Amino acid sequence: MVVQALKDQGVDTVFGYPGGAVLPIYDEIFQQNDIRHVLVRHEQGAVHAAEGYARSTGRPGVVLVTSGPGATNAVTGLTDALMDSIPIVVLTGQVPTFMIGTDGFQEADTVGITRPCTKHNWLVKDTSKLSEIIHQAFHVAKSGRPGPTLIDIPKDVQFATGTYTPPAKARVSHYQPQVKGDTAAITRLVEMIETAERPIFYTGGGVINSGPGASQLLRELVEATGFPITSTLMGLGAYPASGDKWLGMLGMHGLYEANMAMHDCDLMINVGARFDDRITGRLDSFSPGSKKAHIDIDPSSINKVIHVDLPIIGDVGHVLEDLLRIWKARGRKVQKDALAKWWTKIEKWQAVKCLSYTNSDKIIKPQYALERLEELTRGMDRYVATEVGQHQMWAAQFMGFEEPGRWLTSGGLGTMGYGLPATVGAQMAHPDSLVINVAGDASWLMNMQEMGTAVQFRLPIKQFILNNERLGMVRQWQQLLHGERYSHSWSESLPDFVKLAEAFGCKGRMVKDPAELDDAIKEMLAYDGPFILDVLVEKHENCFPMIPSGEPHNKMLLGDASTDDAIGSSGAVLV
């Protein structure tokens, strides 16, 4: 039943780790060839790999793990997927039904433990309901705001027999989120677009989750209106980075021009974002002079953080389609003169060049490393994952994404150890594509065991480690906000990453001379197999721009990126 249900859901890959409570399912997997099973080295790695698969394909990732510690090891990945709205389905084994509650060997209350970090979960006690529940789990994971679901299957249920329910007969009518937006509300938004003088599109991961059609509609709307557009970390790629209306990422480490435009706009159109605290800064000072419209499929996201003037509940793709149709029918009106003045103001903010940094011919600056990686891989069939920390923000700042689904990162939860297994999942889904993980030395070590998975399955994933021998973002906050008291933020006894690569059976190289960086990157890209490139970078470089915790958008630390004259009238802060 389990294997047939997965086949009927179109599943071709499962990431998992066997154990006693799921051996009946593993025995069935052994006897078929339609579904590939990827043996990970840790259950957290399995869920992150499934996330990488899901983000890069738009299809649910599937995980199979055993009971007890197998299930509890998956909790971090489940929470990560819930925060970032990633569709995954996790199947866990459980002790037999008659042993539940007895503290049996490898028993845990999986349903209780995972209730807060899944969209929905099930404990299956009746074999006749098993297949229908699996179909329901896929429906819930994919529908509305996507997210993780979990099915806990006791071992005696796995051994039993029953009647299989095909997907077409599964009961899913009880969960049908609203996808069409209210026409009157959409018309009101069109009226706001027609009269706005300083508008901005603020976009998020919901555009990508809605599917490629939503991204195309967004691009058409931006080009037709001429409005500037910015994006959250999760929304990168929905609008092309090469587009002339693109202001870059906004938020705590977003671009100066994006944050200033958000602060000074008079109409903010939120498309599939959730007003996350990394975006808003201080709530009472967040874009104080703007009218705010919010398009979101999740009603619970509306007015949860920021009160908006115009809520529109619905799928981004459907709402944008109706928005474009109504706006065109009313004559494609915008305030052209006011919009030209708005762009003049934005261009002055862009002239600050907030990503400028002082380069060196002696030591590799992390910004330079990512500039070179971007330059040498631009235009390739490329997927980029990251770990979490300074390197993640630099990658978002210096690497450009032209289409959705190419950027794989942990946004809401900020999970160190995410990137390496995510590249495993993405490479399994796209065997002929270039898949790179931009990592920090500390983050990368958290799930380094998945290099074994990459070698076993001959996955040519590229690990681009910016090695500053520090917990970089922690050290930065300690420097700026905690009186330079560096409490446990310096990594000691780091491994030799080249020898580690060799120990795993793949290739590695260390580079520290800026003059040799291009050659090292080219070697990494040319190698037909997993590769670890250990890039020794400036140890105390800080990631700017930065909105300090508790400050509004127009109070940014820009480091050495600009002059006092350039920002003196803006209210920004120079560190």
Tokens of 212: 């490629």
Q: What is the per-residue burial (b if ≥16 Cβ within 10 Å, else e) of 162-200?
A: eeebebeebeeeeeeeebebeeebbbebbebbeebebbb
Helix, strand, coil percent content, the chain, rounded in steps of 5: 40, 15, 40
* Amino acid at residue number 122: W
Label residue 84 exposed, middle or buried (CB < 10 Å: 0-12, 13-18, 19+).
buried
Residues with catalytic annotation? 43, 105-106, 155, 473
| Cβ-contact 75, 442 below 8 angstroms | no
| Cβ-contact 462, 51 below 8 angstroms | no
Question: To which residue do tokens 């997965």 refer?
Answer: 6
Closest listed residue to residue 235, CA positions, set 278, 186, 293, 192 = 278
| Cβ-contact 26, 158 below 8 angstroms | no
* Amino acid at residue number 139: H
Closest listed residue to residue 416, CA positions, set 77, 39, 60 = 77
Assign 415 to helix, strand or coil: coil
Cα Rg, the chain, nearest whole Å: 24
| Cβ-contact 175, 138 below 8 angstroms | no
Non-local (6+) Cβ contacts of 127 within 8 A are: 1, 157, 160, 161, 162
CA 289/CA 270 separation, integer angstroms: 15
Tokens of 338: 């006011």
